[in-house]
Amino acid sequence: MIIGAVEAGGTKFVCGIGNEEGVIQERVSFPTERPEETLAQVIDYFRDKQVESIGVGTFGPINIDPLSPLYGYVTTTPKPGWGNYPFLPELKKVFDIPFGWDTDVNAAALGEATWGAAKGLDSCLYYTIGTGVGVGVYAEGKLVHGLVHPEGGHVLTRRHPDDTYEGFCPYHGDCLEGMAAGPALEGRWKVKGSELQPDHPAWAMEAFYIGQAITSAVLLMSPKKVILGGGVMHQMHLFPMIREEVKKNLNGYISAQALLEGMDDYIVPPGLGDNAGLSGSLALALRAL
Amino acid sequence: MIIGAVEAGGTKFVCGIGNEEGVIQERVSFPTERPEETLAQVIDYFRDKQVESIGVGTFGPINIDPLSPLYGYVTTTPKPGWGNYPFLPELKKVFDIPFGWDTDVNAAALGEATWGAAKGLDSCLYYTIGTGVGVGVYAEGKLVHGLVHPEGGHVLTRRHPDDTYEGFCPYHGDCLEGMAAGPALEGRWKVKGSELQPDHPAWAMEAFYIGQAITSAVLLMSPKKVILGGGVMHQMHLFPMIREEVKKNLNGYISAQALLEGMDDYIVPPGLGDNAGLSGSLALALRAL
């Protein structure tokens, strides 16, 4: 079985093919331009591949309500040309096969639940912490959509007592994304996060915000695994610091082994590494069949 | 069809029978004593009722993992006799019929999604704000369980700038429950919430905390309806104040009609009123069939 996957990011697109075991056999990537040019490249790539379905995990916000006439559209993005663009309908014009369609983070959550760190579990949260913060939500064996789709990067957090940075989110100022995404590290410390040493106080503050958001998410949703990906989380020394924050915040309230002694195996990096995105789209394609 | 419902609260139990349309035909209630005495009353009530199934929505924490040997147990409650008590197994010894089993707030969420304010929707959040705060989570047509079960009453919130109250939660101090449940109103203002006039500053502060928690929950889960019940929410003047807080916090970020112009119909009281609990248990019983 050959299935197709598109990881549609704001700066680059990755297209690939793989099989039902999650093995990616081939991939190409190209910069994200205006939608017409970008989709022409996607279509060219898949034209002779004989794929049985294609999964698209994409930047957003997008319409994922199958009953809406705007299903498959990118909605309000400021990205030139992509606002109200019929992304999925354009692909469907060319390929008469089943399509999976979801946010990039929901796709990554599904990929991790299918082949990665949450394999075999019926729930997980997938955070990507990079230039922004996004959260994919998988619960009771399903990707959570709801009214629009999860936007958990923008939850409100308490301010660290030593932090005077105002936050860069144009909507909420000091929400999680505004305080903990890559640009917040740079805005607060005046150097790129990747240049800050592991013992720099920046990281304790970073763990404070991320740990706090995870605490509230764990309380609200009780996920079986929390997976943290994205550029900022390449700083592996953040993991033990975040686990410690969550443990401290929960303070033993939830008596579950995973949250008491099993934290090292509860808050983890993506099992699929940097393939989480493309593998997630592959999982969407598989589910569409 | 006759089905049974048990609303098991920390201070009283309500048992009733109803039909598949959610009509409750009869109910009795009695104080919650030690488990042996209390369950004896439950068993007596249902003995001659010929119910086809029974749904139990209960105080917790409880074990709701069907694969666990402790499925159906109350777990770590300080309530005398109820800690590690085999609540559901004791009922199953007597009645050889299907049982529904979930938290009281999950039951209420399901009841509202079946017959109440979220009727026909595949997602909602149900908050009860009274002596404590509990949150039931219904997403993609399923009650969310996960690792344990949602405990969204304890999410962390930002402190109101004028608030010096330390919060009463023994685990988290100033979490949502610690700052916004009934005892917090009384602890902060030295009178019962029901004695505070609608123009008292207590209510703006109350709406600040509740609105903040709802904002983050809406961002993380994108529910199609948010339902607020419990004793504190009998103060109907809180509803417009909470809606205003959520709108202000979201600041137009999510472009969904419900969150922009439709807020009056998005954050609402229980459609089933004070029957939400028992009707919810009825809905659990129906789903168990």
Q: Which tens digit of pLDDT belongs to each residue from B129-139? A: 999 999 999 99
- The arithmetic mean of pLDDT across residues B69-77, rounded, is 93
DSSP three-state, residue A62: strand
Give the residue-averaged pLDDT of B62-67.
Answer: 93
Taking the Cβ of residue A161 and every Cβ of chain B, the question of whether any pair is shorter than 8 Å is answered with: no
Given this model, what pLDDT does residue A193 score?
A: 92
Which phi and psi angles does B130 have, rounded to 5°?
-145, -120
Give me the mean pLDDT over the A70-90 stretch. Answer: 93
Q: Which of A140, A142, A147 sits opposite B224 (nearest CB)?
A: A147
The answer on pLDDT for B145 being more than 90 is yes
Selected residue with higher pLDDT from A261 and A248: A248
- What is chain B's mean pLDDT, rounded? 96
Check CB contact of A12 with chain B, cutoff 8 Å.
Answer: no
Give the model's pLDDT for residue A79: 86
**Predicted confidence (pLDDT) per residue in A37-58, tens digit:** 999 999 999 999 999 999 999 9
Report CA A56 to chain centroid distance, whole Å. Answer: 13
Contacts of B75 in chain A (CB under 8 A): 255
Whole-number pLDDT of residue B226: 98
Query: Mean of the pLDDT values across residues A21-42?
Result: 96
Q: What is the pLDDT of residue A76?
A: 84
- Predicted confidence (pLDDT) at residue A274 exceeds the cutoff of 90: no
What is the least distance, in Å, from the CA of A195 to any CA of chain B? Answer: 31
Collapsed DSSP state (helix, strand, coil) of residue A138: strand
Confidence of residue B274 (pLDDT cuts 50, 70, 90): confident
Say whether residue B121 is in contact with chain A using an 8 A CB cutoff: no
pLDDT band at A276 (very low <50, low <70, confident <90, very high): confident
Q: What's the confidence (pLDDT) of residue A100? A: 98
Residues B220, A219: C-beta atoms closer than 8 Å: no
Residue B60 has pLDDT above 90, yes or no: no
pLDDT tens digits, A154-198 = 999 999 999 999 999 999 999 999 999 999 999 999 999 999 999
pLDDT, one tens digit per residue, over B238-255 is: 999 999 999 999 999 988
Average pLDDT over residues B209-231: 97
Give A221-271 as a DSSP string.
H--S-EEEESGGGG-TTHHHHHHHHHHHHHTT-S--HHHHT-GGGTEE--T
For A211-240, how does the pLDDT look when each residue is reduced to its tens digit (9 = 90+)? Answer: 999 999 999 999 999 999 999 999 999 999
pLDDT (0 to 100) of residue B208 = 98
> Given a cut of 90, is residue B21 above it in pLDDT?
yes
Domains in chain B with CATH codes? 3-106+274-288 (3.30.420.40), 117-269 (3.30.420.40)
Tokens 């093995």 locate to A23
**pLDDT recorded at residue A181:** 97
- Predicted pLDDT at B100: 98
Does A103 score more than 90 pLDDT?
A: yes
Q: Between β-strands A142-143 and B3-8, what pairing exists: parallel, antiparallel or unpaired?
A: unpaired
Residue of B67, B222, B265 to mutate when probing chain A, most A C-beta within 10 A: B222
| pLDDT digits 0-9 by tens, B78-110 | 889 999 999 999 999 999 999 999 999 999 999
Question: Does pLDDT of B32 surpass 90?
Answer: yes
Decide if pLDDT at B74 tops 90: yes
pLDDT attached to residue B256 = 87
On the question of pLDDT at A260 being above 90, the answer is no
Query: Who among B172, B215, B217 is closest to A220 (CB)?
Result: B217
- Overall pTM surpassing 0.90 (yes/no): yes
